[in-house]
Amino acid sequence: MTGVAPPGFEELLEDHCASIGALTRHLREVILSARPELTERVYRGWHGLGFRHPSRGYVAAVFPGTDCVSVGFEHGADLPDPHGLLEGTGKRLRYLRFKPDDSAPTHEHLIEYLDLALA
């Protein structure tokens, strides 16, 4: 367990179904277990939970949606995409999208892309 969630986290999940809430909580745990140096903050305007590295700054966020949870990488457009899993066409952001009943991408992929974002 990674500890107490930041203020506003449970409120962020209030309007989502149980499976999206559980998946969001799980992805938070995966990220913080892999990178305990990250700090987190709820961004209500973005409807997401952002993660910040002490020297790299803001690197990623978890965004619960209607039928999936997206993990966005701040400089995802510049990341290598070794598994062809990053989605999006913006100038900066790219996302991994997780569905409650889906097996791809895996949590190992999430950690790998997080490591790439922090390299």
Q: How many domains does the chain have?
A: 1
Please report whether residue 100 resides in a domain.
yes
Q: pLDDT tens across 3-39, in order?
A: 799 999 999 999 999 999 999 999 999 999 999 999 9
Q: pLDDT tens across 37-78, in order?
A: 999 999 999 999 999 999 999 999 999 999 999 999 999 999
Structure tokens at 101: 């009943």
Please report whether residue 3 resides in a domain.
no
pTM over 0.85: yes
* Segments forming the whole domain that contains residue 35: 9-118
Q: pLDDT tens across 76-97, in order?
A: 999 999 999 999 998 999 999 9
In angstroms, what CA-CA distances link 112 with 13, 47, 82?
Answer: 26, 24, 10
Please report whether residue 103 resides in a domain.
yes
CATH number assigned to the domain comprising residue 27? 3.90.1150.200
